Structure 1
Amino acid sequence: MHVPDGFIDVPVSAGAGVVAAAAVAVSLRGARRELDERTAPLAGLVAAFIFAVQMLNFPVAAGTSGHLLGGALAAILVGPYTGVLCVSVVLLMQGILFADGGLTALGVNITDMAVVTVVVAYAVFRLLVKVLPRGRTSITIASFAAAVLSVPAAAVVFTGIYALGGTTDVAIGKVATAMVGVHVLIGLGEAAITAATVGAVAAVRPDLVYGARGPAEPLVLRTGAGAAAEVAVPAPAAKPRSVRAVWLTGIAAALMLAGGVSYYASGSPDGLNKVAIDQGFDSAETGHAAADSPLAGYETQDVDNERLSGGLAGVIGVGSTLAVGSGVVWAVRRRRTQSRVA
């Protein structure tokens, strides 16, 4: 659902940029509370994994493909604030290095693909976790439902943005129907990927699934006079275990997907592009500022072998996204430490 340059006019793109900047600023502050010793090591990995899986377009209908948006996956694994940052990093790297998603439309893409998907998915997930029986099966079910709903929600928001600032005169009702229809199907693919990934992490280290962590348990303190006071304290922590194995497995999976499996991804236009073609506003797309990038189009410049060209671009993308995502996490954690000292 990467919105290219030219689909949305300058005023609305600028407005979306302000919304996106505000959301990222709030998320930087909120992530300080989420990035603990369990979440922090995974945040950069989650960004890199989302980048890798987004390269795997899967067919959803005749002549149409879809790919992971990643908001639900990020929010559930590392928290909503950190999730917004993870998806934003992915979108930034895709726009700058791979000419995927317009640079003038970056604010639109962050607002739609990072903020909307994270907020909707995390709200649905937390609601379901509270009402379903505790257990890994419920976490998987809640993950599936949250991801399913987050994708058409983003499609609805895009339609609203296009109604405000679309550069082509088209019937918004038809755009809305087409966008929601195809993205419901894409949502099923998103849900399958999200549920499988969250379920796999929960099976190995359930404490690493941020969205499923239990609330603090009350501790009853008694005074000498016999009075009791109830104070909320964190539940007793399990014996600390290294997340290295999970981290290494995730990196290996991301590299394998981006460097090898991506070669077999569907070449059909994704949901938004197909709707644009069918509804006649695809011609509004303008040239990308990074079109001359050595990695534009997820191909490595001057590498003639198609498989090697795409695989190398994917590996570079995973490494770059991991580095930038981990750098953001380090900066937020450092700021958190400085605030505590102050």
Structure 2
Amino acid sequence: MHVPDGFLDAPTSVATGAVAVVGVGLALRGARRELDDRTAPLAGLVAAFVFATQMINFPVGAGTSGHLLGGALAAVLVGPFTAVLCTSTVLLVQCLLFADGGITALGTNITLMGLVGVGAGWLLFTLARKVLPKRTESVPAAAAFGALLSVPLAALAFTGLYAVGGEAHIPLGSLAAAMIGWHSLIGIGEAVITFLAVSAVVAVRPDLVHGARDVVAARELEIRTSSEEVSA
């Protein structure tokens, strides 16, 4: 989904750049509440994993490419604010060192994958958690649901930006069908990978998974209460 230089006009690129700056600034403040000495190393691992998955590109057509976003995965593991920082860092490195996404389109890519991808994934994860049983086993399923839909939603957001400031001579309908159609398929792969990755971490250290903290805290409280009742 990396947007190249010149695909959107200057006003749209500047606007998304401003949105990206504000979003990353808010994420810097919010990440302070999500990270501690135990979870900070996990954020580095998540960033490395997202970097690796985003380097696997699938041609979508119309001058764009698709790949795994990793937004929902990162948000569930380390929190939405930290996930924005991880994704933005990955996109910056890819842009400067691998020419994956244009420099003038960096703000657009951060907005789409770092803000929309992460935000949609986390929101959908949260909604799924309200429906699923309150157990750690439900966390990977909810994460997969968020990953599944966050990818086509980010593609839909790009289509909206193209409708406002697209510079390429491509019919909007054709672009929308290609972007949403292909990224819906990519979303299936992302959902599978997210489910497996979150399941692996939850099985070993559920206390490190940001999206499972409330479940782990409730379970620890229940165990502590039961122990006190037995002692009494």
Shorter-chain TM-score tier: 0.7 to 0.9
Q: Which runs of 4+ in 1 moved over 3 A?
A: 56-60, 215-218, 234-238
Quote the Cα distance in structure 1 between the aligned partners of 2:53 and 2:39.
20
Please say if residues 27 and 84 of structure 1, whose CA atoms lie closer than 8 Å, have aligned partners that are also in contact: yes
Cα deviation 1:74-122 (Å, max 9, x = unaligned):
1000000000000000000000111111000000000001100111110
Query: How far 1:65 sits from its partner (Å)?
Result: 7.7
The letter for the 2-side match of 1:22 is V
Quote the Cα distance in structure 2 between the aligned partners of 1:108 and 1:176.
17
Could you say which residue in structure 2 is the equivalent of 1:7?
Answer: 7
The letter for the 2-side match of 1:213 is R
CA 1:236–1:59 in structure 2 vs 1: closer, same or farther (change >3 Å)? Answer: farther
Matched, 1:80 2:84: no
State the SS of the aligned residue for 2:52: helix
The letter for the 2-side match of 1:90 is V
Please say if residues 136 and 202 of structure 1, whose CA atoms lie closer than 8 Å, have aligned partners that are also in contact: yes
Quote the Cα distance in structure 1 between the aligned partners of 2:114 and 2:78.
14
Could you say which residue in structure 2 is the equivalent of 1:17?
Answer: 17
CA 1:33–1:180 in structure 2 vs 1: closer, same or farther (change >3 Å)? Answer: same
Could you say which residue in structure 1 is the equivalent of 2:156?
Answer: 156
Could you say which residue in structure 1 is the equivalent of 2:210?
Answer: 210
Could you say which residue in structure 1 is the equivalent of 2:230?
Answer: none
The letter for the 2-side match of 1:73 is L
TM-score, normalization: structure 2?
Answer: 0.87
State the SS of the aligned residue for 1:69: coil
C-alpha RMSD over aligned residues: 2.5
Could you say which residue in structure 2 is the equivalent of 1:177?
Answer: 177
Percent of pairs with identical residues = 60
Please say if residues 207 and 216 of structure 2, whose CA atoms lie closer than 8 Å, have aligned partners that are also in contact: no
Cα deviation 1:195-229 (Å, max 9, x = unaligned):
110110001101111012117979xxxxxxxxxxx
State the SS of the aligned residue for 1:213: helix
Structure 1 portions without partners, runs of 5+: 219-233, 239-342
Matched, 1:33 2:33: yes
State the SS of the aligned residue for 2:214: coil
Q: Which has the higher contact order (CA 8 A, sep 6+)?
A: 1
Number of aligned residue pairs: 220
Matched, 1:190 2:190: yes
CA 1:202–1:181 in structure 2 vs 1: closer, same or farther (change >3 Å)? Answer: same
Cα deviation 1:163-200 (Å, max 9, x = unaligned):
11111233212211221111100000111111110110
